[in-house]
Amino acid sequence: MKTLTISDIEQLKQEGKKFSCITAYDATFAGVISDAGVDVILVGDSLGNVIQGQKTTVPVTIEDMEYHIACVARGNKRCLLIGDMPYMSYATPEQAYHTAALIMQAGAHMVKLEGGDWLHDTIAGLTERGIPVCAHLGLTPQSVDALGGFKVQGRDSKQAKQMLADAKALEEAGARMLVLECVPQGLAKQIAQSINIPVMGIGAGVDVDGQVLVLHDMLGISPFQAKFVRNFMADAKGDIKAAFELYHNEVRAKKFPAAEHSFD
């Protein structure tokens, strides 16, 4: 079975087709997600919240990420596999190179980091060294203390203008994908149409190129359900693989997220 690459995801954007992503943290779920036809798996530092019981992603270490990426890589059969670079593991370009090497050696196909145009030189350096980069704007969970909590980002004109400028700068630096989290759907659409790289949304409306949900959220087993989450497990009557298939199909058909899962 052919493993999807970032080039395949870029091709989907060029063809106007949506792609799906679910987080995973172990081999078993990675295998089921792969079998369900989902395009991308993200081994997120969200494991701090849903696996470790942490209040934020800040306590997650590079050793944690290496372990869970390796587990997921063993179970993955076809998905593009993205691994998060944890808190303060890419504060300098040199530190980022070391962290990215560990994440790629653990089994990821791409690394993800959070931040705006201050990451330009870091992303350029990673790209020069053959490491595909996914950037992340909007609500950046590693900066939740600085943001004052889990809040929608980009609602005022100054923030929106800066986010659009950051997106363009990150693409120019060499980023191959961008995640937008908790961003008004109109702004997310503008960003997705303004850059050539695939834009994956979580709480960013239906007009971006792909969608990502945290595994535990979309199965309805997280203690808190955010506005942008839909319980696909309930819709699939308790069948986990069917829930993944439904999610993938609803994303491809542009039926998810609906208006009630989006921010104005």
Active site residue 172: no
The rounded distance, in Å, linking the Cα atoms of 24 and 192 is: 25
114 is in an annotated binding site: yes
Q: What are residue 21's DSSP bridge partners?
A: 40, 212
Cis previous bond, 132, omega within 30 = no
Nearest CA to 164 among 184, 146, 145, 144? 184
Known binder of ligand: residue 117?
A: no
**Quick one: tokens of 240?**
């986990």
> What is the CB neighbour count within 10 angstroms for residue 9?
24
209 is in an annotated binding site: no
Kindly list the distances between the CA atom of residue 251 and the CA atoms of 17, 130, 247, in Å, as whole numbers in the listed order. 10, 30, 6
Both structure tokens of 168 = 């363009």
Q: Which of 66, 181, 245, 250 is catalytic?
A: 181
Residues at the binding site for Mg(2+) are: 45, 84, 114
The residues carrying an active-site annotation are 181
